[in-house]
A and B are shown apart, each in its own frame.
Chain A
C-alpha cells in the first residue's frame, strides 16, 4: 500500500511569503473546506479548541466520517505496534512495559503479541537499561527505551548525553544510535516536585540528540513512527496530562517529519509558539482573543531540537511579533533558547522583543493552587497577547 507520507515543500522558497507545504495543505484543506486564503471571514470563525480532551478539528486531516477516533496513549501504542510489526529489530524496554501493559497503557497488549524479549520488563535501573538500549542500538537494533516518568531518566543522563548523543561523533561516524527515549513528563495534577520535571531543558544542549514533543493523537502517532525509523537518537516527550486526549486520526499509515513545526491556526497579528500541553492552553486563550478581534497565528513547534526556523521565521516575517508559551522553567528552558534563536535570525523583522511565558523557577509544589500558579494559564496568555498587540509592551 502506498504510504501517505507528509513531506514539506522542498523548493527553496522566497522569503516573506508563507509557503503552505503539502502537509499543511492537506491539514488545512479539510479543516477549512478548501479555503486557503487568509480572508477576513476566517477571523470570525471560531477555531480555538477547548483546553483538554477536545476533538481536534484543525489538526486532524480527516473528514468527520473517515478515520477512527482514538485517545493519545492509544495512538502512541498504534504507532509503536505498527513499527514493531513492520521491522523485527524494533524492541521496547522499560519498567512495567510488558506484562503490566505500561503504566500509561502505551505498551498494552504488545508483550502478548511480540513476546517478552521484544517488550522487555526491566528492573528499576534506569542507568543500566538505558545504557543497554543504547548498546543494543549500536549494533543495529532499534530500541525504544521508556522512562516511566521522564524525570527518572535523569539517572541515565550520562548514558543519554555521552553515549547516545555523542557516540556517532566520537566514533567518526562508525556507529549509529537509532534509539528512541520516550516517556511522560511535564507538570501533572499534583504529582509533586520530583515527578513534574521538564527534561527538555536539560537535554537540549546535548549535541547529537534530536528532541520532539507530541501534543495530539495525530502527531503522537506520526512522531512515534518517525522517531523509530530515524537513525538518530530521538527523545520523544509526551505529557502526563495529555494521554486521554481524543481525536480522529486517519486509517492509512502516515509518518510525520521530525524536524517540522505544525501550523495550528494561521493568523497575521502575532506569532504564538508553543508545544505539548501549552498548545491546548494557547488554543483556549485564542478563543477569547478571536472573539475580541485579534488574529493570532499559532504554531506548535513540535521539534524542540532542532527548531524549525523556516516555519517560525516565515511566521515572524508576517506578524513581526512573537510570544513563546512553554511549560519549561524560565531559566535555561526551550523558550530561552528559542528566544535567542529568534533574535539571532529574525531581528530585522521584529517590532518588539520576543516575549516568553514560562513556568516559575520553583520546584513544582503539591498544593493545587500553587501548582496552577507555577505553570502558565490561559488567562495570562490572553493578557500578554493583548498587551503586545496594544503596544503596551
Chain B
C-alpha cells in the first residue's frame, strides 16, 4: 500500500521532479520554430502565436492491445495560454463552489473537480463540437469545456432559474444540447450505456464523430459498463470509454475495490491506453489517438491517471481515507495548472506578471458570475410541472374538467 501511495505522487513512471530545470530539459523546439521572428518584447513566442511546436510528454503511455501514441504532442503558444486560462477559471469556479456550499448557497450533493481539470480541457483540445460527451456527477468543469458559462453553472448550483437546467437539475444534472454534452448523471455507471447509445446514433446517422463516456474508478466495477463495452465492441460503435481514475471511489481506495486496478486493461478485448491525466498535453494526444481509433477500429478505453484535491463531495472531508501529505504532495508534484505555468514560463511565452494578470481576470470572471448568479431568482412555482412531458402527439393529459393540465397525474 505504501508503494501505491508513492505511485500516486510520481504518477507511476519516471518521476518528474519539481525543480525548475526539468521543464527546460523536456522542451525540444522544432527547427522551424527557431527561425521564427521574436515578438517585439524579445520573447520566444507571443501569447497569441499559433505556430505549432512540439513538446515532449514526460510520462509514457501504457497500451493494452494497441501501440501507444508518440510521447510528443504538437501545441502552440496560444493553445497553452488558453489551457492555462480555462483551467484556472475552472479551478477558481470549484473553489468558489466550495465556499458557497459552506455558506449554504449550494445544498445537497456537490462534487468538485479541482485537480482533474487537465482531463476535460485536454479532451476538448482533441475533439470537436460534433463529438458527444457524457459523464457522471462531477460535471461542472465538463460543462464549461463543452461551451457552458460559469454563470449557468453557478446559477444551477444555487438552484436559480438562470441555471443551465433552469434550476431543476442541480449539481449532478448539467446538460448542454448545442455543445453535445449529455450530462450530468447521478447514478454511477448508468451513463456508460447512454454513451453507447450516443455512439450508436452517430453510427446510425453516419456522422464522422465519436462519443466519450466518462466514468470513475468506482464506476469501473459496474456490470453495465462491461455490458456497454461488449455491445460497443460487437457493433464497432465509435465510443471512447474514459475512466477518470482519481484512485478513490468516495472513501474506498482503488486497491480495496478492484481486483485489477489497471482500468485500461479491464476492457479485455477492447484496447486500452493509460494516460497521465494531470498533463493536459498528454491527455490531448491520447484523446486524439483514441478518436482516430474509435472512428476506424472501434471502441477504446482510456484510463486517465488523475487526482481530486477535494473529497468525493462537499460532505466528505477527504482526509479520513488519505493523508494530507498525500494531497499536498500531489498538488506540489503533479498539479495540472502548475505544469502549464512552468511550461509557459520556460518557453518564455508569458511573464510571471502576465500570469498574475490572467489569474486576476479569471478570479474576477468567477466572482462576477457568482454575484450575478446570487441575484438570480428562484424558479417560479409553476415550473414544478413544466418539462415533465413533452407536448403529446394529440393532446397533453387532461384533468377531469377537460382543461389542459400540466400535471398528468391520475
Binding site for B on A (CB under 8 A): 7-8, 10, 12-13, 15, 91, 117, 120, 122-123, 125, 127-141, 143, 158-159, 162-163, 167-176, 204, 207-208, 210, 226, 229-232, 255, 257-260, 305-310, 313, 337-338, 340-341, 345-346
Residues of the B chain whose Cβ atoms lie less than 8 Å from the Cβ of A167 = 183
Interface residues of B in 163-206 (CB under 8 A from A): 163-170, 173, 175-177, 182-187, 190, 192-198, 200-205
What is the chain B residue whose CB lies nearest that of A130? B193
**Bound CA span A125–B230, Å:** 9
- The answer to whether A127 and B196 touch across the interface, beta carbons within 8 angstroms, is no
Beyond A135-B200, A176-B390, A257-B394, 14 extra complex contacts between A and B, CB < 8 Å: A8-B394, A128-B192, A132-B228, A136-B204, A139-B197, A141-B205, A168-B388, A174-B177, A175-B177, A232-B390, A258-B394, A307-B410, A309-B398, A345-B400
Known interface pairs A140-B201, A169-B168, A258-B392; A309-B190 also in contact (CB < 8 Å): no
Contacts of A258 in B (CB 8 A): 392-394
Complex CA–CA separation, A313 to B400 (angstroms)? 6
B353 interface residue, CB < 8 Å from A? no
**Chain A hits for B403, CB < 8 A:** 12
Provided the pairs A128-B228, A132-B197, A135-B197 are in contact, do residues A163 and B190 lie with their beta carbons within 8 angstroms?
A: yes
Contact residues in A for B190 (Cβ distance below 8 Å): 131, 158-159, 162-163
B residues 255-305 in Cβ contact with A at 8 Å: none
Residue of B nearest to A132 (CB): B197
Q: B153 → chain A, closest Cβ, in Å?
A: 13
Select which of A15, A139, A310, A338 is within 8 A of B132 by beta carbon. Answer: A139
For residue A162, which residues in chain B have a CB less than 8 angstroms away from its CB? 185-187, 190
The residue that B389 contacts in the complex, of A143, A210, A310, with Cβ under 8 A, is A210
Q: How far is the CA of A137 from the CA of B170 in the complex (A)?
A: 23
Which residues of chain B are within 8 angstroms of A338 by Cβ–Cβ distance? 410
Cβ distance A223 to chain B, nearest Cβ, rounded Å: 11
Kindly state whether residue B234 has any CB partner on chain A within 8 Å. Answer: yes
Query: CB of B227 within 8 A of chain A?
Result: yes
How many B residues touch the partner, as a band?
35 or more
Neighbouring A residues of B186 by C-beta, 8 Å = 162
Q: How far is the CA of A306 from the CA of B388 in the complex (A)?
A: 12
Assess whether B2 is interfacial by the CB under 8 Å rule: no
Is B381's CB within 8 Å of the partner chain A? no
A131, B400: Cβ atoms closer than 8 Å:
no
A to B CB contacts below 8 Å, 8 in the list:
A132-B196, A139-B197, A141-B201, A171-B169, A173-B387, A207-B388, A259-B408, A306-B397
Residue of B167, B183, B195 with most partner-chain A CB within 10 A: B183
- Residue B197 contacts which of A12, A133, A230 (CB distance < 8 angstroms)? A133
Residues from chain B with a CB closer than 8 A to the CB of A173 are: 166, 386-387
B168, B170, B190, B223 pick with most chain A CB within 10 angstroms: B190
When distances are taken between beta carbons in the complex, the residues of chain B under 8 Å from A255 are: 393
CB contacts (< 8 Å) of B182 on chain A: these are 135, 138, 175
User: Contacts A138-B182, A173-B387, A306-B409 given: A131-B228 contact, CB under 8 Å?
Assistant: yes
Q: Which residues of B contact A137 (CB under 8 A)?
A: 197
**Which residue of chain B lies nearest to A165 when distances are taken between CB atoms in the complex?**
B388
- A210, A260, A337, A346: residue with the most chain B Cβ atoms closer than 10 Å: A210
Query: Complex Cα distance A158/B191, Å?
Result: 11
A residues in contact with B235, CB < 8 Å: 120
> Contacts A168-B389, A259-B395 hold; do A136 and B200 have CB atoms under 8 A apart?
yes
Can you name the residue of chain B whose Cβ is closest to the Cβ of A338? B410
B394 A259 Cβ-Cβ under 8 A: yes
Residues of A within 8 A of B356 (CB): none
- Among A130, A132, A171, point to the contact of B200 (Cβ < 8 A): A132
Alpha-carbon distance A123/B227, docked complex (angstroms): 9
Are B231 and A91 in touch, CB under 8 angstroms? no
Determine if B410 and A306 form an interchain contact, defined as CB atoms under 8 angstroms apart.
yes
Given contacts A8-B394, A123-B231, A127-B224, contact A138 B194 (CB under 8 A): yes
Q: Is the CB of A136 within 8 A of B175?
A: no
Q: Within 8 Å of chain A (Cβ to Cβ): is B370? A: no
In whole Å, how far is A229's beta carbon from the nearest beta carbon of chain B? Answer: 5
Q: Which residue of A lies closest to B165 (CB)?
A: A172
Residues in A whose Cβ lies below 8 Å from that of B177: 171, 174-175
Is residue B402 contacting chain A, with contact meaning CB distance below 8 A? Answer: yes
Contacting residues of chain B (211-257) with chain A, CB-CB under 8 angstroms: 223-224, 227-228, 230-231, 234-235
Task: Considering the complex, give the chain B residue whose CB is closest to the CB of A120.
Answer: B235
Q: Which of A123, A175, A340, A345 contacts B175 (CB 8 A)?
A: A175
Using known A-B contacts A138-B194, A230-B393, determine if residue A172 contacts B166 with beta carbons closer than 8 Å.
yes
Q: Which of A163, A175, A204 is packed against the most chain B CB atoms within 10 Å? A: A163
Q: Is the CB of A170 within 8 A of B227?
A: no
Q: Inside 8 A of B202's CB, which chain A residues have their CB?
A: 139
Interface check B134, CB cutoff 8 A: yes
Measured between beta carbons, the chain A residues less than 8 angstroms from B168 are: 169-170, 172
The winner among A128, A141, A230 for most chain B CB atoms within 10 A is: A128
Closest 8 CB pairs of A and B: A135-B197, A131-B193, A135-B194, A306-B408, A128-B227, A172-B166, A172-B165, A125-B227
| B399: Cβ under 8 A from any A Cβ | yes
Closest approach, in angstroms, between the C-beta of A305 and any C-beta of chain B?
7
Q: Are A8 and B390 in contact (CB under 8 A)?
A: no
Contacting pair B394 A7 (CB below 8 A): yes
Q: In the bound complex, what is the Cα–Cα distance between A64 and B215 (angstroms)?
A: 59
Q: Is the CB of A122 within 8 A of B390?
A: no
* B51-76 near A? 1/0 per residue, CB < 8 Å: 00000000000000000000000000
Question: In whole Å, how far is A230's beta carbon from the nearest beta carbon of chain B?
Answer: 5
Say whether, besides A172-B169, A259-B398, A127 and B392 are in contact (CB < 8 Å).
no
Q: Which of A13, A131, A167, A308 has the most CB of B within 10 A?
A: A131
**Complex CA–CA separation, A166 to B202 (angstroms):** 23
Q: Is the CB of A135 within 8 A of B134?
A: yes
Q: When the two chains form their complex, are residues A132 and B193 in contact, meaning their CB atoms are under 8 A apart?
A: yes
Distance between Cα atoms of A91 and B275 in the complex (Å): 37
Q: Across the interface, do B402 and A310 meet the contact criterion of CB distance under 8 Å? A: yes
Q: Are A172 and B193 in contact (CB under 8 A)?
A: no
Contact A132 B410 (CB under 8 A): no
Q: In the complex, which residues of chain A have a beta carbon less than 8 angstroms from the beta carbon of B193?
A: 127-132, 134-135, 159
Q: Which A-chain residue is minimally distant from B395 (CB atoms)?
A: A259
Q: In the assembly, what is the distance between CA of A348 and CA of B201, in Å?
A: 52
With contact pairs A128-B231, A141-B201, A232-B392 given, residues A135 and B196 touching in the complex (Cβ less than 8 Å): yes
B400 touches A127 (CB 8 A): no
Closest Cβ neighbor of A345 among chain B residues: B400
Docked Cα-Cα span, A306 to B398, in Å, equals: 8
